[in-house]
Structure formats: C-alpha cells, structure tokens
Amino acid sequence: MTSNSTSNTTSSTSGSLILVATPIGNLGDITQRAIETLQSADVICCEDTRHSGNLLSHFGITGKRLIVINEHTEYDAREEIVELVIGGANVALITDAGTPGISDPGERLVTAAIDAGLRVTAVPGPSALTMALVASGLPTSRFVFEGFLPRSGIERSERLAMITTEPRTVVLYEAPHRLAKTLSDLTVACGAIRRVVLARELTKLHEEFWRGTLQDANLHVAKVEPRGEYVLIIEPARPPAPPTDEELLAAIRAEIAKGVSRKDSAARVSARFGVAKRTVYELALRVRDDQ
C-alpha cells in the first residue's frame, strides 16, 4: 500500500524547524507552548534582534543564538539553517509579529527544509489575518488572502482586476502611508458601494475596526490620518445578474450573422452566459422564425 504523504528522509538525529507565532500587539496573547518552544530551541531566527530580544527577555528567555531572517537575508541564510537542523538543532522561527510565513519571512526557509527532508512544524497562535476577518462582519466561510498589493505597474492592475470579480471575501495588508492610494484604486476597480472593513492596531491599546463602503472609507482616511498597519477586508463581488432573453437573442443573432448554425450558435451562447443549452436553443428557434 502506498501513501501520498511526504516523509522525512534524513537521519532520526536531525532536529526540526519550528515556526512559532508571537503576539501581534498584546503580549498576553502568547501561548504557553510558544514560550516552552522558544525556551528549548537551540537557535532562534528572527527579523530584528533588538525587537525579538526584547520579546524574549520579557518572557525570561535569554542566552539564545539569534540569526536574522528577513526579506533581504532569508535566501542566503537558508543553507546555514538547513545544515543546523541536519546537525540536530531545533531551530525556531519567529517574526516581528504574528505567524511566520504570512506576508513575513519563512516561506523560502520552509521550502528549503522540506526539500532537504527535514521535519517542519509550527506552534499556532496570533494572526492579524484571521483576527481581522472573523471580527469584520463580512462572510468568512470562503476568503482569499492577497497580502500586500504590488505598489504599481501592470501587476497591481491585474490584482485589482481580480479583486473586482472575486466571489470570496478578500483580505489585504497595507501600510498607513499607502492606504489612501489603495482605497482609491479599490474604489475605481470595485465601485463606490462595495463594503470594506479597515482594521488597525489589532490587540493594542488603540485597536480600531472601521466599517462602511469604499466611498466612505476614502472620506474617512482623508479626515483621519492613517496610523499603524492595516488589514483591509473587502466584501465579495456580487454575482452578475442573469442575462435577459433580449441579451441572449442578440448574442444568438450575432453568431448566426457570422454564418454559424443555430445549433452551434446556441452552444456558444450557452457557454458564454452559463445558461442551459435547451433554453438558448429554444430562443435560437425563435430567431429562425423571425427571419
């Protein structure tokens, strides 16, 4: 019997790479398991040694070797960390806030460790993504996380176009100095009445959830200077209204005018509009009778 799961191929003496979620603001949100994992880790990877050093010190964790893993160093540091784990070290990965690998360093390191056949696991905990989503009041059964949008160019335009028709709730991250531009672009792409929630300073003293339309959101940020990192939760796109008989007849006539048979015209229009073939074919027969 075969298995589709991926197994470790290195020696049983190798260590582990452990992604550890840390507080996004309120230090009381750290889990006991996270503290114990950091206490027992041989090496801790972090984005900023000063920031993480203060966090570790707060919980009485001292004397640990810290390796900087950020967007600039992650690629080059992967080999060293993989070798440490192969050698038996338990390496914990933390970021400045929240769960590693979610719009933060970690993804490349995880891939490198898995490719080397090493054990990779995680200690779950705080996440701005999930907190903002569940408290937004918008649908949570299906959602898509877009992270930070590209700052400009065709890639930004393409992502905005996807959001325009996205049938799931969309979650974005945004910096305060780029919030106004992003809201303006979203309004152009999605329309003024699309609902949005702006979540900021989550779990902190000035935690805030602002709820309204994109149009009102633009007015809000024009009056109140954005501060702190933001999570944007955007209402799903409404499904398009079903085509009317007149629209279907016009499409059928256009196909027939090209020399396409009634049967093939009905099939094309059915596929284009997502309407049952039988319904469209009956309309195609009416076109023949009219002509």
Does one domain contain both 26 and 83?
A: yes
Mean pLDDT over residues 137-147, rounded?
96
User: Which of 258, 244, 183 minimizes the C-alpha distance to 219?
Assistant: 183
Q: What is the pLDDT of residue 6?
A: 44
Alpha-carbon gap, residue 172 to 81, rounded angstroms? 30
Give the count of domains, the chain: 3
Reported in sequence order, the residue ranges of the chain that DSSP labels E, i.e. its strands, are 16-20, 43-46, 65-68, 90-93, 119-123, 143-148, 169-174, 195-200, 208-213, 230-234
**120 and 160 inside one domain:** no
Residue 68's SS3 state is strand
**Same structural domain for residues 280 and 227?**
no
Q: Helix, strand, or coil here: 203?
A: coil
Whether residues 37 and 73 fall in one domain: yes
Does residue 283 register a pLDDT over 50? Answer: yes
The distance between the two most distant Cα atoms of the chain, rounded to a whole number of Å, is 88
Which of 194, 210, 234 is the last residue in one of the domains?
Answer: 234
Amino acid 21: pLDDT: 97
Query: Residue 277: what pLDDT?
Result: 86
Query: 248: pLDDT confidence band, cut at 50, 70 and 90?
Result: confident
How much is the average pLDDT of 70-94?
93
- pLDDT, residue 247, reads 86
Would you state the pLDDT for residue 5?
A: 44
Average pLDDT over residues 234-239: 92
- Final residue of a domain: which of 74, 101, 126? 126
* 210 in the same domain as 133: yes
Place of tokens 């080999």: 79
Residues 191-227 have pLDDT tens digits of: 999 999 999 999 999 999 999 999 999 999 999 999 9
User: What pLDDT was estimated at residue 89?
Assistant: 96
Distance CA 41, CA 34 (A): 11
Question: Domain of 264?
Answer: 245-290
Query: For residue 162, is it within any domain?
Result: yes
DSSP-derived pairing of the beta strands 195-200 and 230-234: antiparallel
Question: CB of 198 within 8 A of CB of 176?
Answer: no
- CATH number of the domain that residue 161 is part of: 3.30.950.10
Residues 6+ apart with CB under 8 A from 125: 20, 21, 22, 23, 29, 30, 31, 34, 99
Residue written as token pair 């570790």: 56
Decide which of 232 and 267 is more confident. Answer: 232
Span 102-121, mean pLDDT?
Answer: 93
Structural domain contains residue 6: no
**Domain finish residue from 234, 260, 278:** 234
* Position 226 in a domain: yes
Flag whether 9 is in a domain: no
For residue 4, tell me if it sits in a domain: no
Q: Judge whether residue 287 has pLDDT over 90.
A: no
Q: Is the pLDDT of residue 88 over 90?
A: yes
State the average pLDDT over residues 5-17: 63
Give yes or no for a contact between 234 and 217, defined as CB atoms under 8 angstroms apart.
Answer: no
Residue 164 near residue 192 (C-beta atoms within 8 A)? no
